[in-house]
Amino acid sequence: MTNPTQNGTTPEPAPDSNSVSGRASWGGSVASADPAPEGAGVDLHRGAQVQEASTEGGSKPGQEEKPTARRSRRERADRARQRPRQPREKKRLHQPNTRFNDDEFASITSAAARCNLSVAGFLARSALAAARDLDRTRAQITDERDLITALFDSRRKLGWAGSNLNQAVKALNSGSTAPQLEAAIAAVHHAAESVRDASARLIEQRTA
């Protein structure tokens, strides 16, 4: 059976719109049925954005953010300004209290200023110097104690002499004799000399 020959007037069959060839010929934008080669169809713009995001200032996965140079310099400067820690045996943990009257405190304040020290620093250095030279310190303290003892003894003697003088004056006023008058006058002279010597020694020691 022979097929009739198609001429220019014979209509062509309508293409099936559901067939692949029909979609390709009429749509013109449908992709070919053949699989695309490997690597084809990659979004280049999306890849560039991903690469740009990975190179920005944010930290990458698995990496920690490093401190900036300015922060590092500031931390090094802070550590340099910190005073080195002293061992416990050199730390001054004990703070004893002491009291002074106005004249004593004024003298200590003036001496500390002349030595370019604070009052606390002057007291600490003076106490340590006295503790390291016990012979001299003991001699000075003993000498001062002796002077104070002599002054109190002279005061006691002057009180006794004054009492005797009062009794002698009463006896003389009543017309009687006063045999203790000469002894009282001698005691007064002796006490006065003791007070004068002790005061001179104390003043010399304080001004030395």
The residue ranking higher by pLDDT, 192 or 57, is 192
Residue that is written with structure tokens 């004593």 in the block: 104
**pTM of this structure:** 0.34
134-207 sits in which CATH class? mainly alpha
Give the long-range contacts of residues 42-45, CB within 8 A, separation 24 or more.
none
pLDDT single digits (tens) 147-187: 778 777 877 877 777 787 788 778 778 877 767 777 777 77
| pLDDT over threshold 80, residue 71 | no
The residue ranking higher by pLDDT, 77 or 42, is 77
pLDDT at residue number 106: 92
SS3 content of the chain, % helix, strand, coil (to 5): 60, 0, 40
| pLDDT over threshold 90, residue 117 | yes
| pLDDT over threshold 70, residue 8 | no
| pLDDT over threshold 70, residue 28 | no
If you average pLDDT over residues 116-120, what whole number do you get? 93
| pLDDT over threshold 90, residue 114 | yes
Side chain identity at 4, as an amino acid letter? P
